[in-house]
Every structure is written in C-alpha cells, then in structure tokens.
C-alpha cells in the first residue's frame, strides 16, 4: 500500500512539474472537420452560422486518460457576403463544392468580418481545464480566386487540480503546500488562413501568454508554465472523377521543447453527401475517419484512433465524434463551401 501511495505522489508531482515539457492543449483527430478549433482566422468563413459540438475520449480503458469536449460557433458579418456571396449556391445546394466545375466558377469571397466563440473542456486525471475564447477575423480577396483571413482569439482558461483525487505519502510536502489549485488565467491566440477553391494553408498560435500553473514556489525545479503552441496546416484537392475528390492535408505541431510532430490526413469526398478518410500521427496513432452530410441542417463526423505508442498495451484506442449544425443556411447548402 505504501509503495502504491508513493507511486501516486510521484505521478502527480511529475505531471505538475513537467507540464511545460509536453503538449498542453488538447489534440484532435477530427480537426479536418473543424479547423476553426485551431485557427481563429476561420471565424465567419462560411455563408451560414456554423455550430459544432465535439467529444473525444482518448486512450479508452486507461484510468485518468484525457477526455475533451467542446462547443464552437462562428458566423460571418457583412451584407455583400451573407446575402450575395459569389460562391453561394442557389436554394437547394446547386454545384457540388468538391467538383471541378465548382473550382472553375469559383470567385473570391466578398470582404467581410467573422465572429465566434469556442468553449473547450479537457480533463486528464485530477487536472481539468476549461478555455473560453471569443474570436474575430477579417476576410479579404487578394485575387479573383484567393482569399486571406486574419484572426485573433482572446479569453481565459480555468485550471483546476482536484486535490481529492491526490493521495500523498507526506501531507506536509512543501510542493503541495504551495499549490494554487484553482486558477483563472488570460488566454490569447492568433491565426492567418489563405484559401482558394482547391487548396488552403494556415498558420496559428495558441497560448501566446505564458502562465504559471498550480505551483507557486519560487524553486525553479518545480516551476511550470504554459508555452505557445504553433500549428501549420495545408491541403489541396485532387479530382479522381466528377463524383469523387481526394483531399490530402498535413498538420505540423511545434511546441517547445518537445520535438515537432505532425498529422497526415487523407480524405475521399463523395460529392457533397459523405466522406471517408485515414490519418497518421507521428509516434502516436493511425486513425479512420468518416462523415455524412445528413441535410442542410446537420452533419456528423466520427474517428477512431489505433494507438501505436507504448500505451497500446493498456488502451483500446481513441473515439472522437463531432456534430455540426448549419444555422441561417439561406442557400440550403449541405456541406462547407470555403473549407474542406
């Protein structure tokens, strides 16, 4: 029993003192379904109010493994775009946005603003974090076919260490006596997003403001801080025929001092009705993905990660599901026009 208590204390101490040495923000396999989660520049990119709710259970079967839930909403502002987007379809959906014809007729979106809100909750063992950010973006057509959006996210995070889940061998441990286990911290992010009918590229950063977490002692051995998370992503379309489109994409994650990692995604879109795909995350997992556009009001995406790291011996994989709602969808489109 004593050895078990020592082990639990060591785990908690390691988590607290080494937070700055690992990815501190949640990761998503279904980010291809909602890039707005990683980049505020996508605020208002579509011609409707985009609402998404997601749930991710990572490393199922492992006690204390990360569980993430989120709700995002963003919408465009600007009459010329909302009521007269050059790429908006007539009522009923019109041209499939993954088709060759769509790319040939595409015109850059009218200049407009976008606003939004993200709420993300993430729990790992006794540590939970809720981040609430308001977002703003401005979209501008650089050429007749290329758009550029610049966005910012600002808000706060609520960080909690549940001490009732922490068992100590020594209750007088000076590290734990200096814990601030319930904190509110400011949050700031920034992003840019360039998009055309057949490709996109984006760069964003989260946690721009480094913050001390939980441990308040001045002993540098145990100080821990949040660090900026940089994301670089890009993708393009390959037309296999008039009904099937291949959409490869990549996401690079740069978080010092850990090594740069990446996701490689491959997606097959069957008109504007459904899609399937696969993903590889460096030194972590392979994943299968699928989604269906049920109507002009709702769509659903699901993914399952097959763990390839050492955690595969104690984990049965990772589940993630996302439900999308298209509000104020005046043109009755069934899938995104400006993102893929």
Q: What is the mean pLDDT of each run of 10 residues along the chain (340 residues)?
A: 42 43 75 93 95 89 82 93 68 64 81 97 88 97 94 94 69 64 91 95 94 63 76 94 92 89 93 92 88 94 85 74 94 86
| Structural domain count, the chain | 1
The reported pLDDT for the residue numbered 136 is 98
Residue 293 lies in a domain: yes
Residue 193 lies in a domain: yes
CA distances from 30 to 33, 55, 230, 278, 290 (A): 5, 10, 18, 11, 9
Residue 156 lies in a domain: yes
Residue 333 lies in a domain: no
The reported pLDDT for the residue numbered 217 is 56
For 15, the domain range is 2-327
The reported pLDDT for the residue numbered 99 is 74
Residue 221 lies in a domain: yes
Cα separation, 12 vs 300, in Å, equals 37
CATH code: domain of residue 200: 2.40.160.40
Cα separation, 322 vs 290, in Å, equals 11
Residue 337 lies in a domain: no
Residue 272 lies in a domain: yes
The reported pLDDT for the residue numbered 80 is 84
Residue 43 lies in a domain: yes
The reported pLDDT for the residue numbered 183 is 87
Cα separation, 211 vs 111, in Å, equals 36
């Amino acid at each position: 029993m004593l050895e078990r208590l020592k082990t639990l204390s060591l785990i908690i101490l390691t988590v607290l003192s080494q937070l700055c040495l690992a990815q501190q923000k949640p990761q998503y396999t279904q980010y291809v379904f909602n890039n707005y989660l990683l980049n505020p520049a996508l605020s208002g990119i579509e011609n409707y109010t985009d609402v998404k709710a997601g749930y991710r259970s990572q490393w199922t079967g492992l006690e204390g493994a990360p569980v993430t839930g989120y709700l995002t909403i963003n919408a465009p502002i600007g009459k010329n775009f909302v009521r007269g987007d050059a790429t908006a379809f007539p009522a009923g959906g019109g041209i499939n946005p993954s088709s060759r014809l769509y790319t040939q007729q595409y015109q850059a979106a009218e200049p407009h603003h976008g606003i939004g809100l993200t709420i993300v909750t993430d729990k790992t063992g006794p540590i939970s974090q809720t981040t609430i950010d308001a977002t703003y973006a401005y979209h501008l057509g650089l050429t007749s076919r290329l758009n550029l959006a610049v966005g910012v996210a600002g808000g706060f995070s609520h960080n909690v260490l549940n001490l009732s889940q922490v068992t100590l061998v020594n209750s007088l441990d000076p590290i734990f006596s200096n814990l601030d286990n319930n904190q509110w911290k400011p949050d700031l992010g920034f992003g840019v997003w360039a998009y055309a009918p057949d490709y996109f590229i984006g760069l964003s950063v989260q946690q721009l403001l480094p913050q001390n977490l939980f441990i308040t002692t001045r002993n540098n051995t145990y100080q821990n801080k949040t660090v900026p998370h940089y994301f670089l992503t890009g993708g393009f379309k390959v037309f296999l025929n008039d009904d099937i489109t291949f959409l490869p994409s990549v996401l690079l994650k740069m978080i010092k001092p850990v090594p740069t990692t990446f996701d490689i995604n491959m997606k097959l879109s069957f008109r504007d009705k459904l899609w399937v795909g696969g993903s590889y995350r460096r030194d972590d997992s392979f994943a299968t993905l699928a989604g269906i556009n049920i109507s002009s009001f709702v769509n659903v995406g699901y993914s399952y990660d097959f763990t390839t790291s050492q955690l595969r011996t104690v984990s049965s994989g990772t589940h993630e599901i996302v439900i999308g709602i298209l509000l104020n969808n005046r043109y009755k489109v069934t899938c995104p026009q400006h993102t893929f």
